[in-house]
A and B are shown apart, each in its own frame.
Chain A
Amino acid sequence: MSLQLDNVTLSVRGETYISDASLTLDPGSFNVLLGHTLAGKTTLMRLMAGLDRPDHGKVYLDGRDVTHLPVRQRNVSMVYQQFINYPTLTVFDNIASPLKQARVPRQDMTRRVEETATMLGIQHLLGRYPQELSGGQQQRTAMARALVKDADLVLFDEPLVNLDYKLREALRVEMRKLFESRNTIAVYATTEPAEALALGGTTTLLHQGRIVQSGPSDEVYRHPRNREAATLFGEPPINLMPMTIQGDECRVADQRQALPEIWKSLSEGEYQVGIRPHHWSLLPLSEAALHLPVVVRVAEISGSETFLHLSHDRIDLVAHLIGIHEFGVDQSLDVQVPFRQLFVFEPGGDLVLSPPSSRSTSPGVRGDL
């Protein structure tokens, strides 16, 4: 099964929710929708499911036009951010409900419900009611109901947001396993870039109802198409500074430097550079690096990491450092970042140069952004 959105547009009461979205999801693929709140993730999923109809554009399932096919007649399932279960039915009946509607024979149904429940670790709770379960168990029930019927398309709308940290991690790992052996298209909406990278698959960046970029997750992360994509795919967002190339010199913000080897191919003119917060270093680097005198605004320490909010010549910057670093407010510092790790954008925002991936640490492995 493949799903294709073709120039889909939806506006409600004069407000554009989705604007001209085209997207193809391959059979058996795991797709992450990444975007801020109100970016249109949920709306896009509802269009995919058939819960909403687009104003313009078409939705194809396996090449068949399903734009006007009601959700009941499509083989989809959905898991919401809130834990949605039928409170008056037991966990067993909750999970069995799609099978019952599809008139699956009793024996077969029982076997499949038990299989799915075992897969999600809730097989001992089948006799209970949803209210008697913890949040994690409730969401597992909802997930079991979504998975039990072998849907062509399974939609997860920020399913892990309302769970505590540990459970989220555990379920996220299971998530991929659940889909490894299926031919189902999975779509997973999240606001967290780290989650998109951890889940792998493909990532589609959404911003204000538009699809900014779509592709394999690490590809999108490493080669964002433009400034917007780079900003969206990173938490804290990428730092941006103006840069000018003139002769064999370049100026980043107000810092004049010799033009580094890696930028020699760029023509003269105005640019913007993007620096991922975790690429900043406090220690002197052996390679060609951008040096920047900065003033500390706030040092935010969370566990074993430090987020340094800095400013340089009225430009606000964030550095994400591993380990605990204590700094006083207004303390002056020198930070640096190797030139080869900088993104270069045109003034219009399009990507000109992204860091070569050869030696760069894979963010998915590092797990931090």
Chain B
Amino acid sequence: MRLRKSLVMLVYLLFVLVPIYWLVNMSFKSNREILGGLTLWPTTPTLDNYRVIFTEPTWYMSYLNSLSYVSMNMLISLLVALPAAYAFSRYRFLGDKHMFFWLLTNRMAPPAVFLLPFFQLYSAVGLFDTPIAVALAHCLFNVPLAVWILEGFMSSVPKEIDETAYIDGYTFPKFFIRIFLPMIRPGIGVTAFFCFMFSWVELLLARTLTSVDAKPIVAQMTRTVSASGIDWGVLAAAGVVALLPGIAVIYFVRNHVAKGFALGRV
């Protein structure tokens, strides 16, 4: 029985991991081998593909561009969402519940809807083809999510803690930074992770709002058709490198992600 269970798991894992393996596999092959026929592992392993990624500016700059707008976005989303979430979790005000729900509806709109307004607006104000343009555009989707997740985490902190801090003589900013933020640290980590996840993989807005200077990795990967055809090996290597930040980020929040998926309400 136990054997059969683990067999099912094993088959499932293999099924999930095959594409990732294939990607890694390809990244160590030469184009000739990739196109030559089916080989389960590289017969002549090569690091040439990775060398291209880390030496050609169009490749490595695109990573840096992506990382720069993703981290900008994470920072902006958190800075905006922290006070907002605190207000939603601690105060009752006119229309608070409606506004809270309305925030989430922003996330329900397909990004394509906002393509045109963003493109036109950022072109007009001269933000086109800058990382901040993408970061700001992604905020439209990430801030609501961040507010929702953080509100959940904040509401699990009893209000009496706030009051005790005031009684002890803390000013609000001091309380918020010294007492409150450390208490919801997992929540902040999870929120940052979710912002990262959206912003890192989002293609449409990122590609439309940039052209040359701020071209992100996801866009770069869709533009690798050259005169000699598609460079399969380099593309695979780029894919592997694109996976790494995600793995690193999820490592730090692995214990809290489930709570984040439940918007902090576990």
Contact = CB atoms under 8 A, between A and B. Distances in A.
Contact of A72 (B158, B160, B166): B166
A51 B166 CA distance: 9
Given A51-B163, A71-B163, A101 B169 contact: yes
Contact of A88 (B168, B170, B174, B179): B179
B161 interface: yes
A158 to B, nearest CB: 12
B179 A72 contact: no
A101 B160 contact: no
Nearest to B92: A13
Interface of A: 49, 51, 70-72, 76-78, 80, 82, 84, 86-89, 97-98, 101-102, 145, 149
- B interface residue count range (under 10 / 10 to 19 / 20 to 34 / 35 or more): 10 to 19
Nearest to B171: A72
A84 B164 contact: yes
A51 B168 CA distance: 12
Contacts of A51: 163, 166-167
B183 interface: yes
> Which of B163, B169, B170, B171 counts the most chain A CB atoms within 10 A?
B169
A72 B179 CA distance: 16
Given A82-B158, A84-B158, A71 B167 contact: yes
A84 B167 contact: no
Contacts of B160: 80, 82, 84
A102 B174 CA distance: 13
B167 A77 contact: yes
B168 A97 contact: yes
A86 B161 contact: yes
Given A88-B182, A101-B170, A102-B169, A78 B158 contact: no
A88 B169 contact: no
5 contacts: A71-B167, A78-B164, A82-B160, A88-B182, A98-B169
A17 B160 CA distance: 19
Contacts of A82: 158, 160
A98 B179 CA distance: 13
Contacts of A102: 169
> Which of B163, B168, B174 counts the most chain A CB atoms within 10 A?
B168
Interface string B147-181: 00000000000101101111111110010000100
B158 A71 contact: no
Given A82-B158, A84-B160, A49 B167 contact: yes
B47 to A, nearest CB: 46
B122 to A, nearest CB: 41
B182 A145 contact: no
A357 B127 CA distance: 87
Nearest to B182: A88
B256 to A, nearest CB: 15
Contacts of B171: 72
A72 B169 contact: yes
Nearest to B157: A87
Given A77-B167, A78-B163, A101-B170, 19 more contacts: A51-B163, A51-B166, A71-B167, A72-B166, A72-B169, A72-B171, A78-B164, A78-B167, A80-B164, A84-B160, A84-B164, A86-B164, A86-B165, A86-B179, A88-B182, A97-B165, A98-B167, A98-B169, A102-B169
